[in-house]
């Protein structure tokens, strides 16, 4: 059954192979295999507790920060298993945006954007820094709003602006892939639509993997969708197809609001 | 009267009594120290004379102010690296582990040990050690007192810093990790900057406690009424001279001791105010 519901992708940006994640003895992600297409938005959806965030966080090895979480399986980027490279190097190739906007409260807007360089001990000249900050903030359409207050604390911005600042922070280092964990769930509808527009624009240069519990969001902005239920990958395919003609009955039940 | 009003009345009565008690203490300290200040003027603070011979009585507080400040600052410097690393161990590196829970209980236990017990330990264990190390022939002195003070204040700085450090939001740390930071980089750029005002508050609190500590200090500092000639020399502290001499004091001497008490109160209040100011500025 699962075989029929998995989309085939050539030259994937990311290839997840037989990935399992355990919280202590509890298997939260069960043998997921998926290829993610380059320069697309791929949505991971499913009801609460289905393992969608857990799957996402396995991709930049965030689980390794916690002793009780164990990961098995492979994730390939350019045919290299991410578990074979140092986590620090891997995380520089993958930006992450979190559920709640979390700019560093002790840093200014400017410092927040270049935090990735600072944290990795990479020294830039003043001119280079200015360039990175302006480019990243322009990428997230925040430049015009904050260019006069760059040296104020990022926490003074509105929630939507803070989240775009966090996206800029994730972009500044030039990652290939951006992982987003329900990035709009703490935002109002206007801020949400700005972030959504931004994601559609960003996929020209980046591959975006987006966890969302919001079906309409997945339908609006994603190219591919991945439906998870109870830790299993139920269905994966082009968003358009999945929303109009889901193959698995569970996907259909979810999309029609029978659960979740 | 409804229950809301009664609650309000009881609560305000409680706070009012507290204010009266505090004000009363200040009042009696001020009244008691008037004779000393009348006789010696402000010279009392800067004079290092302490002569109780009747007829030519002369009292100055400088030796005790110096002893208190020097031993407390030294204690703070000694305790700082220990309590800082312990709080990082508890609040960051081993947060939530069994080792951390056990260690944190032990640290809290340190805070609960009566100071006389520290004094005894200092007298019978630390002092002989100092003699062996060649610090003074008797092992008494400012340095010995500072070491015992340092041990006594470690739990205060540690438990407050630990609490503040473990309160640094996890999503900020994760954000830093997601940008490729190492653990040390996360501590340097996220944990400490976000916790620094609380950490500083912990040190100021423990400094305030060191200033007023009496029993353990008096057993080890040497109780000589002079400005210590070196860190390893003997001296006396404000709290310690009061505790040692108030029993046999009357008249001008008693007033001088009360005046020292007032000064100690003022210094402690200033230190606390300074601490609060620093915290406010940083936020």
Q: Examine residue B207 and state whether it is found in any structural domain, yes or no.
A: yes
Dihedral angle sign, alpha carbons of residues B15, B17, B21, B27: positive
CB B211 within 8 A of CB B114: no
CB contact A1 to B (< 8 Å): no
Q: Examine residue B57 and state whether it is found in any structural domain, yes or no.
A: no
Mutate to test the interface with A, among B179, B196, B199 (most CBs of A within 10 A): B179
Q: Examine residue B233 and state whether it is found in any structural domain, yes or no.
A: yes
Mutate to test the interface with B, among A62, A64, A102, A118 (most CBs of B within 10 A): A102
Domains in chain A (CATH in brackets) are: 12-256 (3.40.50.300)
Give the one of A65, A105, A173 whose C-beta lies nearest to B179's C-beta.
A173
B122 and B8 part of one domain: no
Binding-face residues of A in 225-254 toward B, CB within 8 A: none
Residues of A in contact with B168 (CB under 8 A): none
Closest-CA residue of chain B to A103: B172
CB contact A120 to B (< 8 Å): yes
Q: Output the pLDDT for position B197.
A: 84
Whether residues B174 and A89 touch (CB distance < 8 A) is answered with no
B79 and B186 part of one domain: yes
Say how far apart CA B235 and CA B67 lie, in whole Å: 6
B44 and B112 part of one domain: no
Q: Examine residue B183 and state whether it is found in any structural domain, yes or no.
A: yes
Residues of B in contact with A98 (CB under 8 A): 171, 174-175, 178
CB contact A95 to B (< 8 Å): yes
CB A82 within 8 A of CB A76: yes
Say how far apart CA B142 and CA B71 lie, in whole Å: 6
B169 and B92 part of one domain: yes
CATH number of the domain enclosing B167: 1.10.3720.10
Q: How many residues does chain A have?
A: 260
Residues of A in contact with B176 (CB under 8 A): 104, 115, 119
- Residue B36: phi, psi to the nearest 5? -65, -45
Domain region containing B241? 62-282
CB contact A60 to B (< 8 Å): yes
Closest-CA residue of chain A to B186: A119
Whose CA is closest to B191, among A99, A123, A181, A105?
Answer: A105
Q: DSSP states of B185-210 as a string?
A: HHIIIIIHHHHHHHHHHHHHHHHHHH
Largest CA distance in chain A: 57
Q: Examine residue B43 and state whether it is found in any structural domain, yes or no.
A: yes
Whether residues B181 and A94 touch (CB distance < 8 A) is answered with no
CB B235 within 8 A of CB B224: yes
- For the record, the structure tokens of B144 come out as 């010995």
CB contact A118 to B (< 8 Å): yes
B44 and B105 part of one domain: no
B36 and B100 part of one domain: no
Closest-CA residue of chain A to B170: A102
B100 and B136 part of one domain: yes
- Could you give the number of structural domains in chain B? 2
B72 and B47 part of one domain: no
Q: What is the mean pLDDT of each run of 10 residues along chain A (260 residues)?
A: 57 92 94 93 93 94 92 92 91 92 94 91 90 93 92 91 94 92 91 92 94 92 94 93 91 83
For the stretch B161-174, pLDDT in tens is: 888 898 899 999 99
Say how far apart CA A234 and CA A251 lie, in whole Å: 7
Give the one of B172, B180, B189 whose C-beta lies nearest to A91's C-beta.
B180
The pLDDT confidence band at residue B160, using thresholds 50, 70 and 90, is confident
B24 and B134 part of one domain: no
Q: Examine residue B265 and state whether it is found in any structural domain, yes or no.
A: yes
Q: Output the pLDDT for position B250.
A: 84
Whether residues A91 and B177 touch (CB distance < 8 A) is answered with yes
Termini Cα distance of chain B: 42
Q: Output the pLDDT for position A4.
A: 46
Give the one of B172, B174, B179 whose C-beta lies nearest to A116's C-beta.
B179
Residues of A in contact with B174 (CB under 8 A): 62, 65, 96, 98, 102
Q: DSSP states of B88-135 as a string?
A: HIIIIITTTSHHHHHHHHHHHHHHHS-HHHHHHHIIIIIHHHHHHTTS
Antiparallel, parallel or unpaired: β A80-81 and A69-77: antiparallel
CB contact A100 to B (< 8 Å): yes
Residues of B in contact with A116 (CB under 8 A): 179-180
B151 and B22 part of one domain: no
CB contact A86 to B (< 8 Å): no
B35 and B88 part of one domain: no
B232 and B264 part of one domain: yes
Residues of B in contact with A99 (CB under 8 A): 171
Say how far apart CA A35 and CA B202 lie, in whole Å: 51
ipTM: 0.90
Residues of B in contact with A121 (CB under 8 A): 185
Helix (H) or strand (E) holding A2: helix A2-5
Closest-CA residue of chain A to B195: A106
Q: Examine residue B8 and state whether it is found in any structural domain, yes or no.
A: yes
Say how far apart CA B31 and CA B244 lie, in whole Å: 22
Chain A and chain B share a number of CB contacts under 8 A equal to 72
Q: Examine residue B56 and state whether it is found in any structural domain, yes or no.
A: no
């Amino acid at each position: 059954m699962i075989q029929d519901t998995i989309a085939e992708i050539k030259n994937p940006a990311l290839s997840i192979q037989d990935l399992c994640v355990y919280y202590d003895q509890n298997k939260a992600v069960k043998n997921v295999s998926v290829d993610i297409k380059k320069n697309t938005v791929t949505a991971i959806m499913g009801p609460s507790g289905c393992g969608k965030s857990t799957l996402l966080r396995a991709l930049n090895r965030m689980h390794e920060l916690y002793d009780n979480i164990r990961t098995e399986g492979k994730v390939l980027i350019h045919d290299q298993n991410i578990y074979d490279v140092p986590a620090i190097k891997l995380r520089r190739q993958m930006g992450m945006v979190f559920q709640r906007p979390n700019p560093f409260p002790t840093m200014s807007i400017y410092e927040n954007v270049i935090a990735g360089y600072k944290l990795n001990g990479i020294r830039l000249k003043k001119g280079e820094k200015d360039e990175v900050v302006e480019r990243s903030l322009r990428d997230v359409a925040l430049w015009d709003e904050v260019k006069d207050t760059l040296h104020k604390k990022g926490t003074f911005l509105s929630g939507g602006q803070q989240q775009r600042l966090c996206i800029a922070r994730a972009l500044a280092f030039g990652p290939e892939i951006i992982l987003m964990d329900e990035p709009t769930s703490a935002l109002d509808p206007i801020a949400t639509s700005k972030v959504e527009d931004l994601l559609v624009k960003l996929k020209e240069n980046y591959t975006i993997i987006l966890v969302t519990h919001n079906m309409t969001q997945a339908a609006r902005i994603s190219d591919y969708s991945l439906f998870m239920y109870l830790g299993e990958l139920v269905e994966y395919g082009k968003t358009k197809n999945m929303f109009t003609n889901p193959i698995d009955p569970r996907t259909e039940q979810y999309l029609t609001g029978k659960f979740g | 009267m409804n229950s809301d009003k009664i609650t309000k009345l009881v609560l305000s009565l409680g706070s009012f009594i507290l204010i009266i008690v505090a004000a009363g203490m200040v009042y009696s300290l001020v009244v008691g120290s008037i004779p000393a200040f009348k006789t010696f003027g402000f010279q009392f603070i800067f004079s290092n004379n302490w002569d109780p011979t009747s007829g030519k009585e002369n009292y100055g507080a400088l030796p005790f102010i110096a002893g208190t400040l020097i031993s407390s600052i030294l204690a703070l410097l000694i305790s700082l690296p220990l309590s800082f690393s312990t709080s990082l161990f508890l609040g960051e590196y081993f947060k939530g582990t069994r080792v951390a829970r056990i260690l944190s209980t032990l640290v809290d236990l340190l805070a609960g040990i009566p100071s006389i017990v520290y004094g005894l330990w200092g007298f019978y264990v630390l002092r002989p050690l100092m003699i062996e190390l060649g610090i003074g022939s008797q092992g008494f002195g400012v340095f010995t007192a500072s070491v015992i003070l340092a041990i006594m204040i470690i739990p205060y700085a540690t438990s407050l810093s630990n609490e503040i450090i473990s309160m640094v939001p996890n999503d900020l740390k994760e954000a830093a990790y997601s940008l490729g930071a190492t653990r040390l980089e996360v501590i340097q750029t996220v944990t400490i900057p976000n916790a620094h005002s609380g950490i500083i508050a912990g040190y100021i609190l423990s400094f305030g406690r060191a200033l007023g500590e009496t029993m353990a200090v008096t057993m080890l500092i040497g109780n000589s009424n002079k400005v210590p000639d070196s860190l390893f020399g003997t001296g006396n502290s404000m709290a310690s001279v009061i505790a040692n001499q108030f029993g046999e004091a009357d008249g001008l001497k008693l007033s001088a001791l009360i005046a020292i008490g007032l000064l100690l109160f003022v210094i402690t209040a200033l230190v606390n105010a300074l601490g609060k100011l620093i915290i406010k500025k940083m936020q």
